Structure 1
Amino acid sequence: MNGKYIGGGIVLIALAFGAGVYYAQEYGYYEKVSATAPAAAITLAELGGGTLDPIDVAGYLGIDADSSPLRYRACFRTDISLATATETFQVYDAPTPLIGPKWFDCYDAKRIGADLEAGRAVAFLSQHDIHDGVDRVVALYPDGQAYVWHQLNSEAEK
């Protein structure tokens, strides 16, 4: 009979621990980023390197966390056309949108990734090494919708 209580206690502790880890990963560290915060100022890197040009942003929704530089994600609209962007700014070679928390529903990494692969969107370098080994990437759609995330660059793998 005592074994049932011990086993049940272990199961309850494991469930509580699992719930705590889930909450920490999904909600605990994230904070909304204000549209007036420095992180909301979106730039694109010009062809030929170096210069970062700010772009017009409307309807900005963003999240970030101090726990990791990879947790930044944002959604917004811009009036820059894809034709202008591809002629002016650096296309990002290997964009990999990272999965965000489920509650941040304006950002769907799987859909963005599929659209990038299918050519329905184009990814651009926003800022190289925004943190050591981490780039900021912007995906632009023809209708002006845009998404931003941070991802590891090739220097992080060294």
Structure 2
Amino acid sequence: MPAKSSKTESDGFSAEERAAMKERAAELRAEGKKGAKKADGLQAALDSIAKMAPEDRALAERVHVTVTATAPELSPKTWYGMPAYANADDKIVVAFKNSGKFNSRYSTLEFQDAANLDDGDVWPVSYALQHWSPVVEQKLIELVKAAVS
């Protein structure tokens, strides 16, 4: 039987998740200059998330977990102060814009030019996020998989 997590879906990162991220950052720093850059990007993204209002932070934390689990080849970093995820060419594929950043009605998940979401002559690149749910998580998994394909 798997160990129980010390969080619920809306609580944000569990203690176990926070510890795992710190361990991963230490591993990256130990890899040298390139690894240190990735670790710094991860820490910057986590710091950006930590500064958000509670509602935005809970969404951003779930987005972070979903994106990094779905596309581990993407590197977390910040982009205009927002948590973002870049490909091997250091081009942003997807970013999370919290509602508090520009006093918006909702947070958004925004895909950039490096994302492979092209579908004819018109396709969405920004998705509103108001509440986390299994349906939202599944949609994000599908979008991120397509974006990095």
Q: Normalising to structure 1: TM-score of the pair?
A: 0.24
Q: Which has the higher helix share?
A: 2
Q: Which has the higher strand share?
A: 1
Q: Normalising to structure 2: TM-score of the pair?
A: 0.25
Higher RCO (C-alpha under 8 Å, 6+ residues apart): 1
